[in-house]
Amino acid sequence: MVERMGRKGLSDWTGRGVLVTGGSSGIGEALARRLGREGARVALVARREAELERVADEIHRAGGQAHVVACDLAEPKAAFEAGVEAERLLAPTGVEVLVNNAGYGGHRRLLEWPLEDVERMTAVNYLASVAITKAVLPGMVRRRSGWIVFIASVAGKVATPLEAPYAASKAAVLAFAEALSCEVEGQGVHVLSVCPGVIDTPFFGPDDLAQMPAVARRGMVAVDGLVERVLQALCHRRWFFSKNSWKNLISLSK
C-alpha cells in the first residue's frame, strides 16, 4: 500500500478510499465520477442529499462504489463528524485520499455583500476543509500514507475585484495547505494545492459571465480537463505548476 502511494506518485485507484467534499456538482461531481470509473471507493460529502444520491447512483450504474454523507459544511463540527463517518464507511482502508473541494463564491462589491454570507463562505470554503482534514489525518499519519488535495482558486493567488471575501477564503486555504505540507510530508502524507482559473461550472452564472473580461470567457476550460490535470499531478507527485494568464488551466503548489 505504501509503495503504491509512495514517492512514485498515485496512479492506481483500484480499491482506494477517497473522500470528496462538494461532490454534488461541478468539479467535485466530475472528479468523483471519474474516480469511481477508475475503481476508487468514493465517499461524497455535501449539503444537498438528493443531489449526492443522484451522483452516487450514476457511479453505481457505471460499476463503481459510492457512499453518501449529507452534511452542512458551514458547520465545522458537522464537517468533522462527516470526516469521521467517511473514515468508517471506507473501511478497512479508511480515507486514503481526501479532496477538499467544497466551496462557493459570488461576484459583487463588498459594500453589497451581507456579512452573514461572508461568514458562511469562510466556513464552507476554509473551516470545513480544516475540520475534515483534522478528522481523517490521524489515520493517514498512522498508516504513514495519504494524499490531501485542496481545490482552491487562482483568486487565492491573484485577488480579483468583486470577489474579495471569496479570494480571502481561498488564500487561507492555500496558506493552510502549504503549512500542513511542511508538517506531514515526512510522515507519508502528500499535500496538493490546486488553483483553477476560469472553469465551466455553475459557479459562473449568466450575470457573472457578462461582467467577465472577454479574454477570460475565451479561456474558460471544461471541468473534465481540470480533473485530468489533477489526476496527472497526483500521478507525478507534483507540487508546483503555474501559468499566469487568464487561460490558466491549473496552478499546483506545495
Model pLDDT, residue 86: 98
Residue type (1 letter), 101 = N
246 or 93, higher pLDDT:
93
**Domain assignment of residue 8, yes or no:** no
In a domain, 25, yes or no: yes
* Angle 138-60-11 from CA coordinates, rounded to 5°: 50
Answer yes or no: is 39 within a domain: yes
3 assigned to some structural domain:
no
Containing domain of residue 135, as a range?
17-253
Query: What pLDDT shows up at residue 254?
Result: 35
**Under 8 Å CB-to-CB from 171, ≥6 apart: which residues?**
156, 157, 159
What's the chain's average pLDDT? 85
Please state which of the ranges 51-60, 127-136, 199-208 shows the lowest mean pLDDT: 199-208
pLDDT tens digits along 178-199:
999 999 999 999 999 998 876 5
- Count of CA atoms in the C-beta half-sphere (13 A) of 40: 28
Percent of the chain with pLDDT over 70: 81
In a domain, 63, yes or no: yes
Indicate the range of 138-152, 181-195, 220-234 predicted with least confidence.
Answer: 220-234
Query: Which residues have a catalytic role annotated?
Result: 166
The mean per-residue pLDDT over the stretch 24-46 comes to 96
Contact (CB, 8 A) for 108 and 162: yes
- Beta strands 189-194 and 252-253, pairing class: antiparallel
Res. 159 pLDDT band, cuts 50 70 90 = confident
The 10s digit of each residue's pLDDT in 199-216 is 555 555 455 445 544 434
Q: 192: which strand partners?
A: 149
- Supply the pLDDT for residue 102: 97
User: Which CATH number goes with the domain that contains 49?
Assistant: 3.40.50.720
- Please say whether the beta carbons of 111 and 118 come within 8 A: no
State residue 67 phi and psi, 5-degree precision.
-120, 150
Q: Give the three-class secondary structure for 68.
A: strand
Q: What is the number of structural domains in the chain?
A: 1
Other beta carbons within 10 Å of 148: 25
pTM of the model: 0.86
Q: Tell me if 9 is assigned to some domain.
A: no
| Span 113-123, average pLDDT | 98
Which of 202, 247, 250, 210 lies closest to 25 in space, CA to CA?
A: 202
Q: What angle do CA 24, 25, 27 make, to 5 degrees?
A: 120
- Residue 239 predicted with pLDDT over 60: no
